[in-house]
Amino acid sequence: MKVIKPLVIFLVIGIFLSFPARALMADYYYNRVSRILDDRSTEHRDFKAISGDTMASYNDAIKSLNKAAAIVPSRPVYYKALSDIYAKLGRWAENMDAVNAPLPADAPSSQEAFRTAIKHLNKAISLEPTNPDYHLALGRLYDATAGDRPYSDNEFQRALKAYPVNAPLRSAVAKHYLLTGKNGDALEQARILARIDESYRASAPARLASYLFGAFEIAWRVSGDTEVVKGMAPDNPDAKEVLRLFLEWKGIEE
């Protein structure tokens, strides 16, 4: 009994110490990715352009992230990083296919890359279901790959439901709808954005960069109707000033 008790204590201490050690090791593999993919020909930390010459680096980065996820599988950020890399590889492979250029032997096809990107992003969401950025990214992936509107719209709505009064998020969704030709949805989100934004109240210089100004721009691109734009303006002096600046910028007389 005297021998067993110290052994039990030692094992318990070892188990507790292993958790921070595992986290440190996982973060090492995660942080290693930025060094693997860093384009050293630039002063800033930029990712290497994807090519046959750099594909090995991208595969090394994927291996490093897989090691991080295997060590601490409860960290959603590892799966999000994997999804980002696979999505990047998918877009590159898609462009190569468009010009009938062969892919390197160690490169995934666009379908395989996008499918894997979606899988990893779904895993990240399962670990952090209220993260709106993950839902936004997944919605964009669904839209870009399968063109599956019900799936993409569902993810956008989940993102907005998590933070319904978040102006940057609402703006991102509205712009996505605008860029993908979903004008009715873009206008709907722009109207909500105009109601919830408070950034234009900070100072006079902030008005041109406000989300309210951006909402007016989306409404103008969708409708081309000044009355639609004017109808979105909140009823307060600051918002009216943003509207005046927007119309002036467009060369429209009130």
Separation between Cα atoms, residue 251 and residue 247, nearest integer Å: 6
pLDDT-derived band of residue 16, with 50, 70 and 90 as boundaries?
A: very low
Same domain for 126 and 207? no
What is the C-alpha end-to-end distance of the chain, expressed in Å?
91
Taking Cα atoms as reference points, which of 194, 133, 198 lies closest to residue 160? 133
Q: Please check whether residue 71 lies inside any domain of the structure.
A: yes
Q: Catalogue the E-assigned strands of 197-237.
A: none
Please indicate, yes or no, if residue 85 is contained in any of the structural domains. yes
CB 206 within 8 A of CB 174: no
- Alpha carbon dihedral 25, 29, 31, 32, in 10-degree steps, equals 130
32-83 pLDDT per residue, tens = 999 999 988 777 767 899 999 999 999 999 999 999 999 999 999 999 999 9
User: 34 and 144, same structural domain?
Assistant: yes
Q: pLDDT of 145-183, one tens digit each?
A: 866 677 888 999 999 998 999 999 999 999 999 998 999
Identify whether 170 is part of a domain: no
139, 159 contact by CB (below 8 A) = yes
Domain range for 233: 181-254
Does 93 map to a domain? Answer: yes
* Residue 8: per-residue pLDDT: 54
DSSP at 96: H
CA–CA gap between residue 23 and residue 32 (Å, rounded): 14
Classify residue 6: in a domain, yes or no.
no
Whether residue 80 is found in the same domain as residue 146 = yes
- 155 in the same domain as 77: yes
Query: Which of these three, 163, 190, 212, is where a domain ends?
Result: 163
| pLDDT surpasses 50 at 189 | yes
Q: Which residues pair with 47 in a beta bridge?
A: 38
The structural domain count of the chain equals 2
201-237 pLDDT per residue, tens:
878 788 999 999 999 999 999 999 999 999 999 999 9
Residue 158 lies in a domain: yes
The CATH code of the domain that includes 142 is 1.25.40.10
Q: pTM of the predicted model, to two decimals?
A: 0.82
**153 shares a domain with 35:** yes
